[in-house]
Amino acid sequence: MEGPELWRELGQQLRVDSIRAVAVTKSGHPTSSMSAADLMAVLLAKYLRYDFDEPHNPANDHLIFSKGHASPLLYSIYKAAGAITDEELLTFRVFGSRLQGHPTPAIPWVDVATGSLGQGLPFSVGVALAGKKLDQIPYRIWCLCGDSEMAEGSMWEAFEHAAFYGLDNLTAIIDVNKFGQRGETMHGWDLDSYANRAKAFGWHTIEIDGHDVEAIDEAFGEAAAQQGQPTVIVAHTLKGKGVKEVEDKPGWHGKALDHPEEAIAELGGERNIVIDVPKPEAAEPHRFEAGGGELPTWDLGEEVATRRAYGDALAALGSIRGDVVALDGEVSNSTYAEIFRDAHPDRYFEMYIAEQQLVAAAVGLQVRSWVPFASTFAAFMSRAYDFIRMAAISQADIRLCGSHAGVSIGEDGPSQMALEDLAMLRAVHGSTVLYPCDANQTAKLVVEMADIEGISYLRTLRPATPVLYGPDEDFEIGASRTVREGDDVAMVRAGLTEHEALKAADALAQDGIEARVIDLYSIKPLDEETLRSLTCPIVTAEDHWPEGGLGEAVLSALGDADERPPVVRLAVHEMPHSGKPAELLAEAGIDADGIAAAARKLVRDQVSAS
C-alpha cells in the first residue's frame, strides 16, 4: 500500500488509535484528534524527516502540536512511527505514564510542552530561527495549530516574526474544524478569514480540504518548496471526522466517545500500519567561533548600573562561549542587550515589543541547545508569564533579565516599575531568582546563569550603584554574602536596598547599634542555613510589593523553626507615582533612613521586651 491509499488508511488508523487511547481513562480529546488525522497521516508518511532513535539528531525535523490537546493524535503518530508500542499508547493519561494529557518533553520526541493554546507556534518560530540563523541546516518545523487558538494575540506575534525573519523552514497547519471548546469559533469555516490575515502578515497561504489526502500532499509539497516566506496551510476539516455520532457535532470537545467500539468499527477497525519514517540527511550544525576574552571588571566604588553590567558581561560571555545568544523586546538600549547585539550581531534577535514571542523564541532556541538570554523591562516580563510557566513544564533552560525594577526607576511612573517580578518568578517550578547589587556581582552571576538548568531570572537596576565587591569575588547560586558583621539586628536585602542598608548600618553604628548586613543576591534558591543561624531580629527591605518577594522568601526559610527572631519586612505598600528615585525610595520607607528607623525600633522593642 502506498500513496493516497496508504495515507487514507493511516488517517483512519490515527483516528482509531486516538479513540482507543482516550477510552482508557475516558478522558481526552478524540474529536480534536480526528479532524487533523489526515493532515498528519500525509505528513508522517511522506514529509517528516525524523530519526526516532535519535531525538537529538540535529538534522531532525520538528513536529510541534500547538493544539496540544490533540495529544492522542500525536501519540498515535508515535505508534505509527514505531516509536512506542500499542501497549504504551493505552497508558494515555494514566498516573505515571509519560503519555500525559498534553504533550511534555517527558517524551523524548516532544520539544516543548503545549496545552496552553497559542504557544506552539511562537515556540516553533524560535526553533525555526535556530535552524535558519544559528544551526544553518535545513530541518523543517511543522506546527499543527487549532482554529480556536488563532484568537490568541501570541499567534499573531508569531506570524509577524516568522515573516519578518523569512522563516521558510516553518509550516503552520491550521486545523479549521470550526469548533472550540464551548461552541463555534469566531470565523467558523471561513478559511479566507485566516488566510487573509496570514497573507497580510506576509505568509504564503494555501487553503485546502483537510480530508483530501491528495490536496494535503500537494500543499505540503508547495510549503516545502517555498522560499523566503513561511507557509500556512488552512485546512477545512470536520471535528470528529469519520464517526457519525460525533462528526461535526457541537458538545464533543474534550470528551471520550460514548461508544468507542462502534466508532472503531465505523472507521474500519484497528490497523497496524507502521511507517518507516525517513531519517534526515546527516548535517552538522553551524558553530560560532568563541574568540575568548575576559569578563569585564569594575573598580570598587565606581558607579555602574547593574543593567549596564549585564550588557557588558553578556557581550563578554558571548566571546567566551559560541553557544550564547541574546534576544530583547525593543528596549536593548535600556537593558543594554545592545552591547551584545553590537558584538555578536549574528547571535542577536530583535523581538520588538512582543514579550510573549520574546520568551517563546528563547524556549525554541534552547530546544536546539543554544543558550538564550532574553531581556526586557522587568515589568513587562509579566506579559509573558504564561509562557514562562509553560517553559518550566517544557523543562526549558532559559535565562531572563528584567531591568528597571522597582520604584527606583523614578519619573516614568508605576507602569514601568516592576514590583511583582520576584513573586512571579519565584512561583515558577525549579526557577532561579537572582538580584545582584553591583556590577562585578552581576557579571559573575551572568556567567553562572549560562549553566543553570530551568528558568533563571536576573533582576537589574536602572540607576547606577557603587561597586561593592572586588572583581575576584565569586558568588555561588544559593549562597549569600555577609557584608557587615553585627549582632544587634540583621538587615537582609539585595539589589538596590543593599546600598541603602549599608548607609543605614553606618547611621545605626552611631547610635551604638551593631547591624549585620546580609546580601541575599540569590533569592531562590535561598541560603537557608545562614538565615536560620541568625539570632538577632531581622529587617528585610525590598523595592517590591510586600507579597511573594524577598521578605516572604526569608520568612519561608525560617517558618518551621521552633524559635526564630522577629522579622520586620519593609516593602512598597502604596501605589507609587512619578518622582525622583530618592524621593520614591524615601516615600516607600525603603531608603537608608527608613531601614535605620525600622531597625532602631526593632532593637528598642527587643530591649524593652527582655
Q: Which of residues 82-141 bind a copy of itself (CB under 8 A)?
A: 93-97, 100-102, 104, 106, 113-118
Residue of 305, 354, 378, 400 that binds a copy of itself (CB under 8 A)? 354
Strands 371-377 vs 231-236: parallel, antiparallel or unpaired: unpaired
Residue of 61, 149, 498, 519 that binds a copy of itself (CB under 8 A)? 149
Q: How far is the CB of 462 from a copy of itself (least distance, A)?
A: 12
| Catalytic residue (one of 157, 160, 355, 552) | 355
* 391/123 Cα distance (integer angstroms): 10
Residues 562-581 that bind a copy of itself (CB under 8 A): 562-564, 566-569, 575, 577-580
Q: Which of 457, 377, 553, 380 is nearest to 571 (CA)?
A: 553
CB 171 within 8 A of CB 232: yes
477 near a copy of itself, rule: CB under 8 A: no
Q: Please state the separation of Cα 437 from the chain's center in Å.
A: 25
Candidate segments 275-283, 292-300, 306-314, 376-384, binder of a copy of itself by CB under 8 A: 376-384
How many chain residues interact with a copy of itself (CB under 8 A)?
109
Task: Take residue 451 and report the three cell numbers written for it.
Answer: 549553566
Q: Which of 319, 128, 126 is nearest to 230 (CA)?
A: 128
3-state helix, strand, coil in the chain (%, to 5): 40, 15, 45
CB 203 within 8 A of CB 162: yes
Residues 434-453 that bind a copy of itself (CB under 8 A): none
Determine the longest span between alpha carbons in the chain, in angstroms.
91
Q: Which residue stretches of 130-212 are H helix?
A: 153-164, 191-200
Tracing cell 510557566 back to the chain, one arrives at: 389
Decide whether 60 or 124 has the Cβ nearer to a copy of itself: 124
Q: How far is the CB of 39 from a copy of itself (least distance, A)?
A: 21
Residues 185-214 that bind a copy of itself (CB under 8 A): 185-186, 196-197, 199-201
Decide whether 355 or 500 has the Cβ nearer to a copy of itself: 355
Q: How far is the CB of 559 from a copy of itself (least distance, A)?
A: 4
* 157/102 Cα distance (integer angstroms): 23
Site string for a copy of itself, 531-550 (x = CB under 8 A): --------------xxxxx-
The dihedrals phi and psi of 431, each to the nearest 5 degrees, come to -75, 160
Decide whether 19 or 428 has the Cβ nearer to a copy of itself: 428
H or E element that contains 232: strand 231-236
Residues 380-399 that bind a copy of itself (CB under 8 A): 380, 382-383, 385-386, 389-390, 392-393
Whether residue 473 lies in the annotated active site: no
Decide whether 135 or 160 has the Cβ nearer to a copy of itself: 160
* 305/226 Cα distance (integer angstroms): 46
CB 387 within 8 A of CB 365: no
524 near a copy of itself, rule: CB under 8 A: yes
478 near a copy of itself, rule: CB under 8 A: no
Residues 28-47 that bind a copy of itself (CB under 8 A): 28
Q: Which of 144, 439, 457 is nearest to 309 (CA)?
A: 439
Task: Take residue 238 and report the three cell numbers written for it.
Answer: 470536520
Q: How far is the CB of 223 from a copy of itself (least distance, A)?
A: 20
CB 404 within 8 A of CB 378: yes
166 near a copy of itself, rule: CB under 8 A: no
Candidate segments 182-190, 221-229, 231-239, 299-307, binder of a copy of itself by CB under 8 A: 182-190
261 near a copy of itself, rule: CB under 8 A: no
Residues 275-334 that bind a copy of itself (CB under 8 A): 330-334
57 near a copy of itself, rule: CB under 8 A: no
Q: How far is the CB of 200 from a copy of itself (least distance, A)?
A: 4
Decide whether 216 or 407 has the Cβ nearer to a copy of itself: 407
* 364/125 Cα distance (integer angstroms): 7
The dihedrals phi and psi of 552, each to the nearest 5 degrees, come to -70, -30
Residues 219-258 that bind a copy of itself (CB under 8 A): none
Q: How far separated are the first and last CA of the chain, in Å rounded?
A: 89
Decide whether 58 or 413 has the Cβ nearer to a copy of itself: 413
Beta bridge partners of 170: 141
Active site (catalytic) residues: 355
